[in-house]
Amino acid sequence: MTETYDVIVVGGGPSGATAAEDLARAGRHVALLDRAGRIKPCGGAIPPRAIRDFAIPDRLLKARINNARIVAPSGKTVDMPVETGFVGMVDRCEFDEFLRVRAAEAGAERVTGTFTTLARDADGTAVIEYEPKAGGPARRLRARMVIDATGARSDLARQAIPHQGHPKCVFAYHEIVKAPEGAPTAMYDPMRCDVVYNGKSSPDFYAWVFPHGETASIGTGSARKGFSLRGSIKALRKETGLDRFETIRVEGAPIPMKPLKQWDNGRDVVLAGDASGVVAPASGEGIYYAMLGGRLAAEAVNEALATGDARALALARKRFMKLHGRVFWILGVMQFFWYRSDWTRERFVKMCADKDVQRLTWESYMNKELVRKKKAAQVKIFFKDLAHLLGLARA
């Protein structure tokens, strides 16, 4: 008879690897199914909260960012220095593999292949069918519970929760290039992230230049059909002088912009990471939220296994939204209003020059908590925000 795992985690990115590690450390019999060689386009930023909560070693940090430069459609720039601490930058190729290895060291069994089908044995137990990397006939893994961490537009999610459909996505594309050497310049600083807001770089999102030590990520995203992501990056590289440097690899993928309303099938499958839609609107930040989503999915599965009550699977979404639902809503509103045109983007960048805005932004980002103590500053920011949106403040 086919071996039965407690849990099969499908997808070995930050979310899936975190879930597999946590469940293995909890004593569960876990298989981690991942297709090798797939790297998601990602700026690679991780806040101090992620480094603390998930024990990320210093050796994985390719850069320590102490400033963000916001670029307006007019070309005006606003620097947002980090007052305390830094933002860590990782290379997803190395970072993701580290997490998978750590999960295996905790006891998870690594399986390499591509998911194809969610089936069921005669007794109703979930069966994951996959094509092995080495080729040959399809194989099967059987488990009491399944965590889907296969990313946005997941086939597994569609099969497990067929009525829900896929989340709305931004399509992201980036190019990893050899970074300039020598002293920082106005166009490139190895300790600064550049975020570019203009319609030619993205009509509804933003473009970026993020340092990764010896390399840099230059990327953009858009949900608008027909917009040339490659053409945008070609132009941005020329403008910044980064067209002169070697291209190491290119990657593209859909990035979800809103958490799905349902993360589990009420039986034995729960979604995590991009499969559940937990990428922050406006910023596109996903690594921390993916890892947290994986951890919460693991907790929910562990509880369901311990109690025999599949209703526990719903706790993954409930707990995530309690922690971050308000932030996601605020960021979604911000993206809707500020990313609509170059006129609004110009005013958004102007607003970023405000020291209260910078302070609260960094405090919230670094610790992944809304700063609730500074009510006066929040009220002040609200009225400044309204003035810029209505065009009452000079851009």
pLDDT on residue 394 = 54
Distance from the Cα of residue 179 to its chain's centroid = 23
Residues 198-237 have pLDDT tens digits of 999 999 999 999 999 999 999 999 999 999 999 999 999 9
8 Å CB contact between 237 and 175: yes
Q: Which pTM value belongs to this model?
A: 0.92
Token pair of 341 as six digits: 């045109």
Task: Give the integer Cα–Cα distance in Å for 261 and 275.
Answer: 12
How sure is the predictor about 116, in pLDDT bands with cuts at 50, 70 and 90?
Answer: very high
Task: Give the integer Cα–Cα distance in Å for 333 and 348.
Answer: 13
Kindly state the DSSP code that residue 264 receives in the 8-state scheme.
Answer: B
pLDDT on residue 1 = 52
Q: Identify which of 62, 13, 354, 76 has the alpha carbon closest to the alpha carbon of residue 211.
A: 62
Query: What is the β-pairing status of strands 30-34 and 4-10?
Result: parallel
Residues 21-41 have pLDDT tens digits of 999 999 999 999 999 777 777
Count of CB atoms situated within 10 Å of the CB of 94: 13
pLDDT above 80 (res 393): no
Task: Give the integer Cα–Cα distance in Å for 89 and 271.
Answer: 26
Domains, the chain, ordered by start: 4-41+92-167+258-324 (3.50.50.60), 68-91+171-256 (3.30.9.10), 338-389 (no CATH)
How sure is the predictor about 320, in pLDDT bands with cuts at 50, 70 and 90?
Answer: very high
Kindly state the DSSP code that residue 95 receives in the 8-state scheme.
Answer: H
Task: Give the integer Cα–Cα distance in Å for 63 and 274.
Answer: 25
Task: Give the integer Cα–Cα distance in Å for 312 and 302.
Answer: 9
